[in-house]
Each structure stands twice: as C-alpha cells, then as structure tokens.
Amino acid sequence: MSKEQGSNIREVAALAGVSIATVSRALQQPDKVRPETRKKVFDAVRQANFVPNAQAASFRRQSNNTVILLVRDIGNPFYLEIYKGVEEAAGEAGFKVLMGDARNDENRVATHIDMVRQKHADGLILMTGQFPSELLDQADTLPPIVIASETVPGLALPTVKIDNRAASKNAVRHLIEAGHTKIAHLAGPFPESLAKERFEGYRDALSEAGIGYSDELVVTGDYSIEAGRRAIAGLLESGISFTAIFASSDQMAIGAISELRGRGISVPADVSVIGFDDIIFANAFEPPLTTVRQPRQEMGRKAMALMVDRLNGKRTAETIVLDTELVVRGSVAPCRSPHR
Amino acid sequence: MSKEQGSNIREVAALAGVSIATVSRALQQPDKVRPETRKKVFDAVRQANFVPNAQAASFRRQSNNTVILLVRDIGNPFYLEIYKGVEEAAGEAGFKVLMGDARNDENRVATHIDMVRQKHADGLILMTGQFPSELLDQADTLPPIVIASETVPGLALPTVKIDNRAASKNAVRHLIEAGHTKIAHLAGPFPESLAKERFEGYRDALSEAGIGYSDELVVTGDYSIEAGRRAIAGLLESGISFTAIFASSDQMAIGAISELRGRGISVPADVSVIGFDDIIFANAFEPPLTTVRQPRQEMGRKAMALMVDRLNGKRTAETIVLDTELVVRGSVAPCRSPHR
DNA sequence: TTGAAAGCGCTAACAA
DNA sequence: TTGTTAGCGCTTTCAA
C-alpha cells in the first residue's frame, strides 16, 4: 500500500520521464510547465509518494521563510494574542512562525539570536526586555531583528510599541480622579525601558496632581501573578498605607488582588486596582479588571510587517507607535478616605 | 571591527591552514583533533567571525534535532506548562522545541504533520483532539508522532495521558457528596476522545449515586472562556435548573462563573463549580477554583522522553498514564436545596 | 591525526 | 517549454 518512503526528486523525474528541473518547476511554478507535463509529474509524485525535502530547499535558497517570536515569558497570556497577530501576517506573507520562551533570561535571548545566525530561521521578533550587552555594539552584524512591545536603548532596530509613559499616566490619572492619593505602583524589572517608561508615567500623573512621590510605594516584579502577590505581601508587611494600585501587568494585578483578598482586604471597596494589557482573563475576573488595553493583534501584525520589510532588504529602523485604551471595568472605586 | 558576515567552513580552513574536514571535526568532536590544530582552527573561526550554518548541517545529517509541539489552542495557559516540561526534557536530550497552534483545526494538524515529513522538524508532539482522517490508515508511513493529553482512536502511537474517566468521576463525586444532584456538565467537543472520556466519568458518578442522567444538562464547547460563557447562557435561557457545574477545563469554568455572576448568581453560594487542569489562574481566581490538577510539567517531560525513544528507533506504542489530583479550593459549597 | 572527495536534495542560471 | 549543470555548506567515509 505505501510506497518507498524516502523518494527524491530524481526518482520522480525518472518516473515521469522528465528532468529534475521540470519536476522542481512543476511543483514550484506550475504555470511554467505545460499541462500535460505537469500531469505526468503529478502522477509520478503520487506514485512515488514523494514529499519534497523542505530542508534541502531551504538550504539551497539560503532561507526558510520562518521567523522566531521570542517572548519574555511564554506563561503570560499577553503574548499569545501577539502570536496570533504575528502568525496571521506571517501566513499572508508566506512565512511560518515559531515561538520561543526567553524566561527572563538574557542568555536565552543570545541563544535565539544565534539560531538566526545559524539560519534556523530568517529573522527574530524580540519581545524581551533583555538584550545581550556584548551584542549591543555589533548592531551592523546582527541578523534581522524586530523589536515589539519593548525597546532596547542604544539599539536602532525596527520597533513597534505603545506610548507606555502616556498610557500609564492616563491610568494613574483615573485613580487620582477617583480620589486616590496613596497609589502603589507594581513596576516591571528595572532598569528595563518598559518598566522605566511606565514608572515615569506614574510619576508624571502624581506630579501633575501635586501628589508627593514616595519610593516605598513602588515595588518591582517580573509581571507574573506570583510577583503581584509578593509585592503586596511586602507592602502590607512594611506597614505602608495605600488605597490604590497601578500594576504594570494584569497578571501582577490579579496576583495582588488575590493576595489582598487572602488578607481580608477587598477590591475595589478597600483598594482600587488598575492593570495593564487586558489579557483575556481580565474581563472574567472578579472584580472585572480595569486595565490598559494594548492592541496586541495589531502589534503582532505590524511587527511581522516590519520583519517582512527588513527581510526584503529595507534597512530603516522605523518605530511604529500604537494607541492604547483605558478599559474601565469594576476594579476601581472612589477613595473612601481621600487625602487621609 | 566586524569581519565579513557570510564566512564559511572553507575560508576558515584556508585561514587555519587545514582542511575543511579538520575544521568540521574541531568544531563537532574537538577531542579528535590535536590541541595545536584545534587552537589554529578556533583562532581562524574567531578571525573569520564564522558561524556554522546549521541549516547545511541539518540538511547533510538529514535531521535537525527539533520537535514541534502542536497544541489545540495556544491561548489556553494549560499548554504553556506542558511546553515547559517538553522544553526541559528536550534541552537535556539536545533538542529544540517549536510550538505550533492548531486552532482546533484539523487542516492545521495536517499541515504540521507535513512539516515533519518535509524535515522541518524531526518529530511532532500532538496535543490536539483532531487528526486528519485520511491519514488514519497510513499509520506505517507517518513521521514520528507522540500524542499527549489526548488520544486518537484507531491509531497506535506512543501516548502520555491521564485517566480522564476516573478523574472526572472523582470530581463529580465530590459535587455529589456536597449534596448536589442537578449537575451540569460543560463538555469538550464531541466526538473527541477526551470529551467522551470525561463525559463518561460524569455519567459514572451519576449512576453510582443513583442520580438520573439528563441530556439537557450537558453542553459542549471548545474549552475556552467564551465557550463557558455561552454554555451557561444557553443553560439559563432554556430554563434548566442546576446547582452545580463540572467543567472540562478551567477556562470554561471561569467563563461560566463570570457569566453566572453577570446574571446575579453567585458562586459557590448559589452554584458550585469544579474545573479541570489547574491552570495558574485557578488559584488566583475568586472564588479560588476547585479543580482537577493534571501533572502538566511531567506530562511534557514524558512526552518528550517518548519522542526521544521513537527517534532512536524504538517502535513501540507505549501508553503512559499519569495521576491526577482533585484540588479542593473555594468554588464548591454544600447544596442548599438538596434533592429539590 | 589529518586530508581528499563524494554527495545530501534541491534550485536556478543558462542553454537548447 | 524543457534539460543540463553547477553548486548551496556541511559531514563523513576512506585512505594516507
């Protein structure tokens, strides 16, 4: 029933009574081959149970139409929507997408850059805050890289991002308008740009409202649920008082709320919370999370578009800035003891 | 500063004053080369800024030490933990892992099987309920495939899974012990094995307790949050009464709870809920979700181990069954109107 | 321990 | 429209 497995283009050519070039053409550009010839080839392909060896083709072409999407932490649902956008745009452009997990580890970023150098893939879409410092001054020898969501200071690469500072400022302003003045900030890991930009937005809103800034209200974490829990535990145990939280990720917001609740503090009655990202769980959560929505799908699409440009030889370092939106749901309430 | 980019093994050989074979050996099996020669080669590699073309090597070796992990829906956090297990075991065995998204689409499964046939990867770990039916009778011509979590009836492939039927029965029994008799079941998509097995466990528990079974209490969905919402909306609108829900995924459980709450029905006070998977959000959710924990990391590790065996020529179709655990948290309460 | 040489399967330039 | 042919960069016998 099943024919020989490892048949190659030569066997097919022999079977069809044509040259291997014709087989290749019939398969790659059918309209360049006369219909009768095409039919002979297709029949032979079927008869030989032939599956072209994509590896050989990629090798010959010196490209394999594949890009790697490397994310900070594959456990964060935020990246999955991005992936979908990337994959959609990639499919349209004839590319495949593989997803890699950097696990917040700079070395793993370096490993994946090497994979591109070694032609495992044609390009790398980076969604990690980390970048191997030893590569920073080798910008001209880097393989095709596009940055999404994050930025790497001192590296002029095509980038798609949001205005983190403005989005944060807007979110914190929302808290201030509800009467909050003691606002904690669950930041990302410094000194990454993303963390710093959101932190600056937080400070902007504070100073705009004439509210004093306090170091003690800022805690950093790696955007995970666990980090959110830990941050709140630390804050509470150190006795700092606060009535609102602005978290740099929905996961941290969710961890924070869970921790708060575990200690008998209710959200939003006692403490208001705003997250960041609008992951799919934000809306199903109790209370439904007020958060900053990022246009994830579009971010993915744009990043892939930038990659296609780059792969086609465009050497600019364009930066695309996408809009965000504050999605007001149920995790913010008026401050009960304003100006306490 | 930066040297020529696309240097190849020939240049390095010339630079080092040795043959290309020696360069290859120095890089692949350093101990087969005299230390002085090795040093010459390494110096030349550095000088030429040489990065071996992995594509060429893979092509020559006819294998690339890469496996694809194809999941049903990359948006479900359940798969991310699996991925971590797979990647860990893969790293130890010298393999790379790429993750693909089947989007509940049989055609995309076929596409990925083709990728392996075309040598994009050495093997495929399948976590999809779907399998292209036209390939079912070609088991002997299939590339290396391992099934995880799911099963494909009529296909004898190495598999790692849990005892879905027993786990479900145990979960539903927990509901029954709390006094519930009107228990809805949010099932996966029939006729997939996974959905059927969990459904059978549900029926087992019911009949064991002498509770009658009603078709109307069973609704199917694709394991997503949205499916959970829709299922509950349908149930409520058709006027069926129920006091508990056994959902086939945490995401459906979360969607269900969110929908219930939106309609003023509280969990667990009015309705008790049990989920399946124990995703990372289950514990942070309000109420913390009682659910069936799957040993995801281990499942991933075992699946990869099976793949390594298979790639090493082992041709058995071993099935490994892993243990589950009912994690009791806060989403189940005693039935307030038992035997209503 | 090292080198020469064949060739993995395919694409694409060129010729017919 | 089709065929001939030269490699892509590497690994791996086999011989020295």
Give pLDDT tens digits for A6-37.
Answer: 789 999 999 999 999 999 999 999 999 999 99
Give the gap in angstroms from C-alpha A251 to the nearest C-alpha of chain B.
9
pLDDT tens digits, one per residue of A137-183 = 888 889 999 999 999 888 889 999 999 999 999 999 999 999 999 99
Give the gap in angstroms from C-alpha A317 to the nearest C-alpha of chain B.
20
Provide mean pLDDT across the span B135-160: 90
Q: Retrieve residue A68's tokens.
A: 């790697």
pLDDT tens digits, one per residue of B52-87 = 998 999 999 988 899 999 999 998 999 988 999 999
Residue with tokens 């798969």, as numbered in its chain: B79
Identify the pLDDT of residue A154. Answer: 85
Work out if B21's Cβ lies within 7 angstroms of strand C.
Answer: yes
Q: Name residue B71's beta-bridge partners.
A: B101, B127
- pLDDT band per the 50, 70, 90 thresholds, residue A4: very low
- pLDDT band per the 50, 70, 90 thresholds, residue B337: low
pLDDT tens digits, one per residue of A212-258 = 999 999 999 999 999 999 999 999 999 999 999 999 999 999 999 99
Positive or negative, the CA dihedral B119, B123, B127, B128 is positive
Do residues A273 and A245 lie in contact, with contact meaning Cβ atoms separated by under 8 Å?
Answer: yes
Pairwise CB contact (< 8 Å): A83 & B77: no
Give the gap in angstroms from C-alpha A114 to the nearest C-alpha of chain B.
8
State the alpha helices, DSSP H only, in chain B: 9-16, 20-28, 35-48, 54-61, 78-92, 106-117, 164-177, 193-208, 225-237, 250-262, 296-311
* Of A53 and A337, more confident: A53
Minimum-distance nucleotide, CA of A118 to C1': D9
Q: Retrieve residue B87's tokens.
A: 């990647």
**Buried b / exposed e along A223-259 (16+ C-beta atoms within 10 A):** bbbbbbbbbbbebeeeeeebbbbbbbbbbbbbbbbbb
* Of B314 and B271, more confident: B271
B216 DSSP 8-state letter: G
Asked if the model's pLDDT at residue A340 lies above 50, the reply is no
What are the CB-based long-range contacts (under 8 Å, 24+) for A206-214? A206/A172, A206/A176, A208/A169, A208/A173, A209/A173, A209/A176, A209/A181, A211/A176, A211/A181, A211/A183, A214/A240
Number of other CB atoms surrounding residue A267 within 10 Å: 25
In 3D space, the residue among A73, A70, A335, A105 whose CA is nearest the CA of residue A227 turns out to be A73
- Rounded to two decimals, the pTM is 0.91
**Buried b / exposed e along B150-164 (16+ C-beta atoms within 10 A):** bbbeebebbbbbbeb
**Buried b / exposed e along A145-171 (16+ C-beta atoms within 10 A):** bbbbbbbbeebebbbbbbebbbbbbbb
What are the CB-based long-range contacts (under 8 Å, 24+) for A6-13? A7/A48, A7/A49, A7/A50, A8/A50, A8/A53, A9/A50, A9/A52, A11/A48, A11/A50, A12/A41, A12/A44, A12/A45, A12/A48, A12/A50, A13/A44
Percent of chain B with pLDDT over 70: 97
Work out if A63's Cβ lies within 7 angstroms of strand C.
Answer: no
A positions 133-172 inside 8 Å of B (CB): 138, 140-141
- pLDDT band per the 50, 70, 90 thresholds, residue B108: very high
Cα angle B288, B293, B298 (rounded to 5 degrees) comes to 140
A157 DSSP 8-state letter: -
Asked if the model's pLDDT at residue B3 lies above 80, the reply is no
Identify the pLDDT of residue B314. Answer: 86
B positions 78-137 inside 8 Å of A (CB): 80-81, 83-84, 87, 96, 98-101, 114-115, 117-120
pLDDT tens digits, one per residue of B254-291 = 999 999 999 999 999 999 999 999 999 999 999 999 99
Provide mean pLDDT across the span A271-280: 97
How far is residue A309's CA from residue B256's CA, in Å, rounded to a whole number? 43
Least reliable range by pLDDT among A82-86, A260-264, A310-314, B81-85: A310-314
Asked if the model's pLDDT at residue A339 lies above 50, the reply is no
pLDDT tens digits, one per residue of A114-132 = 989 988 899 999 999 999 9
Name the residues in B41-80 having a C-beta closer than 7 Å to nucleic acid strand C. Answer: 59-60, 62
Q: What is the mean pLDDT of chain A?
A: 93
Q: What is the mean pLDDT of chain B?
A: 93
